[in-house]
Structure 1
């Protein structure tokens, strides 16, 4: 079975394209949104989703979230007695999603279309593909999130020549893409964004303001208290979507603190973040060579786009109200499902061609001669410019600087700075040239090929010798090699994800433990409930367990509402 997956920073979803169009599958708790959180229990078993999210408070040392932001890096996170790379943590989330899809359909998931931020780098895309391999599936295609959102809105069914701007603000990343529909082709004209700007950053400014107003230092809070604070600030942030103000209570060393925030002050605190959004929006429009009035629609997606201050920013910049009739949390996942249907050539879908663009300029380092005739190195020479329609292949010739050179090193970079030191190095390729020939006869033809999955192939052809070289970018820092993937796959196979049949019970226990951490006055009662429910689980009587699960859930609901 081929599925579509939205592998998000804060939540992930899975579905497929079927008889009734795109359909999303619920997890064991009946929810479509699965928190992108991983936790290890005392036995070394992995919990994924809501149970893991609650354990961020009760077991912060063995739980982790927001690891999508670390994709493409070699950062490792210690959980219990093991260390995990971002690809492995993402793979555990993927395995949980796959189990949900298989439980819903009775079919085996073998392939997937996974959405990624349009502004994901080459290394981040390769890391996402590696996560799929570690999860035991083939990643059939990576689709940029704004493109997926366009499919979810059915923009491909609009009239020819329609132009759209997709504004995608998720938990950890921000993307903007300008698209046009013409004769069955959904063409991306420009993409821009910020891989380190999302809902989590808005939560950070609330946390900073709250602690400052209360006279507290973040370093003075233990991990559990800090987790409680962020959870309550997240609730307050969501409350400000529909009401004028929100209040947060926090207990620190037996003393209860209360903090209030209104929508006006939140907008003031978040203004630097909103200004950061302006630059990618303006750049995408400039690269697409369009004026705001030339856009037919503006689409908001991503859970963080629900904030009124975001909608106001877009409305002011473009002079119109954006579209938000598709659930912003689900739009990208639904679009990934449509993309999976297109990939499998589902007969229920009209033939639609998707084109995308290269989000970064790709090139190499060159030496330039200054006005005094001196050679200066460190300059960036783009071969593929940003927002080139993919797949794209470009070739350029380069020459050695000095006579008698026997080797030429070609460094590959991505970025927009004229100097390579401020761009990202992807890899390097060393080629042998004929030292007996003068520099002007020793051309090296360098070809960059960038495909629809955002994977870059680099080839060099030495004209004087006829030799060809190819750069293996899997050797980049922060990207796993094929051998490392095999090793990590074997190690990850030992980590068992709790079966779906236990997820409801584990999630309820994790919730109870989290509430125990939060509520000082009811701890004896909550602890008694936990002990009773654990005893009921030992009976292995599903009917009795179900009755007690409902009873405990209602009791916890009552406690949290007071």
Structure 2
């Protein structure tokens, strides 16, 4: 890598914080992005944390290996719980030595390892980072990701959607990829499908996005584990899922078999259950039948159809289909996408690293555009393709609004103020009215969802504000919602006559409190990761 894109504070990096694996990358001043290897030459870090009894936490491959012998003290797939207290099966929290460890803190350990890898590579502290998130992450999950970065000692410049990051890399790596693209991003724990337009000048405009941030490779592994359990129970009378060591071993082997079946048609692994040894064989056809029976293939097709409808497109309007994420390698995915789009999928050049590479490009471009003219040249050469590329435009992945009372029915309904698919950044405002004479307060809330039915939206936060005086029925109230480029949200209400501030919603969404952050920082400072 030639001279690196840097700020006065240090080099810029992009990070793909994945459910199963994570990667850190940097970009040189020519705009070429490369994943950064650790001291062992590995570019991919498993997103797994293990807490040995009486020892320092392990992060990465070593932690993943410990899952087979000490599953109860090993955390994985915690990205799915970002912004929530619980992420384990059955809604349980991850507790070790009597202490609850939140997903943000576990993610911070992974990010710390990536930060240390990059700092060792460059021999100096980092100047800033862009972290990727699934396009279908909501505001609480995005804020939790930023919190994890801050806990890890990173200056988080912004978060960016994973499909957008992948498309940026693809667009600069392959100049022939302009046109309308469907990005199919299926990773270890999340699934995004995004339609975007890529111009000849490498401009990128997202038109629609959808998906499920709780669907991915770990779910497919679980199907194989369940089949293993059926076979083992028939031979031994023991359910391997009741034995922690057997379950951890089966889970690791299920992942191996899943990957192997993308290259071959049959895979076999030994299992030890109830003290007995047995052999388990799975064919590709068997695996595809499991995916079909579980409804995953149909769910994936439904998301593709829905996103095309949101974009107002027929499949024939697509010029390319780009596959990103490790689980996109499963042959059944290409077959299903080919059938419902009529397009031959094209794989990202490196599905495991390209999202991090795209994030590094965004980090450099963001800093380049914000820098004074003289300082900008220290980040990117003015003639580089990345410097000349217009800034990407994303869209709101979900609708945003506030609840109001329908005067005709008296029912509380969700008022959508920013519909899903609106280009971001954006700001929209509506005028509502006081409900009764003498009203002195307003209960302002912020909703996330695309339905007018309040039972089908998520309330991100609420605040009781005061008019400062009694107002009459029908008094105007201006409610505004701002959606930033990071897809973070600001919701405020003002007096429609005087312009006086009434209320601002502070998004909660189960995020960490200040005291929890302080406790996590103190705990992380004790670890040598």
The two structures have a TM-score, normalised by structure 1, of 0.83
**Structure 1 residue aligned with 2:159, among 138, 142, 149?**
142
Whole-Å separation in 2 of the counterparts to 1:58 and 1:104: 32
Q: Distance in 2 between matches of 1:102 and 1:376?
A: 56
Q: In the aligned structure 1, how far is the partner of 2:79 from the partner of 2:71?
A: 18
Aligned position for 1:106: 123
The residue that corresponds to 1:496 in the other structure is 528
Runs of 4+ in 1 over 6 A off after TM superposition: none
Matches within 5 A, 1:516-555: none
Deviations 1:19-53 (A, max 9, x none): 56111111233211100001122334121100000
Aligned-pair CA distance for 1:470: 4.5
Change (3 A) 1:496 1:81: farther
What is the match of residue 511 of structure 2?
479
SS of the aligned residue for 1:9 comes to: coil
Equivalent residues of 1:170, 1:305 under 8 A apart: yes
Q: Which residues in structure 2 correspond to 1:231-310 (within 5 Å)?
A: 231-271=252-292, 272-310=295-333
Q: Which entry has the higher C-alpha Rg, 1 or 2?
A: 1
For residues 304-325 of structure 1, give each alpha carbon's deviation from its aligned partner in whole angstroms, at most 9, with x where no partner exists: 0010001111111111211115
Q: Is 1:173 aligned with 2:190?
A: yes
**Counterpart of 2:14?**
4
Checking the alignment, whether the CA contact within 8 Å between 1:384 and 1:448 is kept in structure 2 is yes
Q: Is this contact kept in 1: 2:439–2:472, CA < 8 A?
A: no
Q: 1:399 to 1:156 in 2, by over 3 A?
A: farther
1:235-284 alpha-carbon deviations (Å, 9 max, x no partner) = 11111111111123211122122222211121121011111112221121
Report the structure, 1 or 2, having the larger helix content.
1
- The answer to whether the 8 A contact 1:396-1:447 is kept is yes
The answer to whether the Cα contact below 8 Å between 2:400 and 2:420 also exists between their aligned partners in 1 is yes
Give the CA deviation at 1:286.
1.1
Matches within 5 A, 1:412-561: 412-433=446-467, 436-440=470-474, 442-464=475-497, 466-474=499-507, 476-497=508-529
Residues 435-481 of structure 1, C-alpha deviation per residue, up to 9 Å, x if partnerless? 754312x111000001011110011101245421442524x141124
Quote the offset at 1:398 in angstroms: 1.2
Using the TM superposition, name which of 143-152 and 423-432 deviates more: 423-432
Task: Say whether residues 1:186 and 2:192 are aligned partners.
Answer: no
Structure 2 CA distance for partners of 1:387 and 1:32, relative to 1, 3 Å: same
C-alpha distance in structure 1 between counterparts of 2:242 and 2:516, whole Å: 38
Does structure 2 retain, via aligned residues, the 8 Å contact 1:383–1:396? Answer: yes
Q: Deviations over 1:166-190 (max 9, x none)?
A: 1000000000111112355211111
Give the whole-Å Cα distance in 2 for the aligned partners of 1:174 and 1:318. Answer: 17
Contact 2:240-2:246 at 8 Å conserved across structures = no
* C-alpha distance in structure 1 between counterparts of 2:98 and 2:42, whole Å: 31
Deviates more, 1:277-286 or 1:76-85: 76-85
Q: How far does residue 486 in structure 1 lie from its aligned partner after superposition?
A: 3.2
Q: How far, CA to CA, are the matches of 1:409 and 1:55 in structure 2? A: 50
Query: Once the 2 structures are TM-superposed, how far is the Cα of residue 92 of structure 1 from its aligned partner?
Result: 0.5
SS at structure 1 position matched to 2:26: strand
Match of 1:121 in 2: 138
The 1:50/1:303 distance shift into structure 2, 3 A limit, reads same
3-state SS of paired residue (2:439): coil
1:48-59, aligned counterparts within 5 Å? Answer: 48-59=59-70
The 1-side partners of 2:246 and 2:367 are apart by: 48
The aligned residue for residue 502 of structure 1 is: none
User: Residue by residue, what CA displacement relative to the aligned partner does 1:338-374 show, whole Å, maximum 9, x if unpaired?
Assistant: 212212321233322111111000001122245xxx4
CA distance in 1 between partners of 2:173 and 2:452 (Å): 37
Counterpart Cα distance in 1 of 2:400 and 2:148? 24
SS in 2 for 1:175: strand
How far residue 402 of structure 1 moved from its aligned partner, in angstroms, is 2.7
Give the 3-state SS of the residue equivalent to 2:411 in structure 1: strand
RMSD across aligned positions (CA):
2.0
Moved more, 425-434 or 215-224: 215-224
1:362–1:412 Cα contact (<8 Å) kept: yes
1:554 counterpart residue number: none
1:316 alignment partner, SS class: helix
SS of residue paired to 1:409: strand
- Unmatched tracts of structure 2, length 5 or more: 1-10, 87-92, 369-379
Deviating more after overlay: 56-65 vs 119-128: 56-65
- Take 1:311 and 1:426, find their aligned partners in 2: how far apart are those partners? 36
How far apart in 2 are the matches of 1:82 and 1:44?
Answer: 15
TM-score normalised by the chain length of structure 2? 0.88
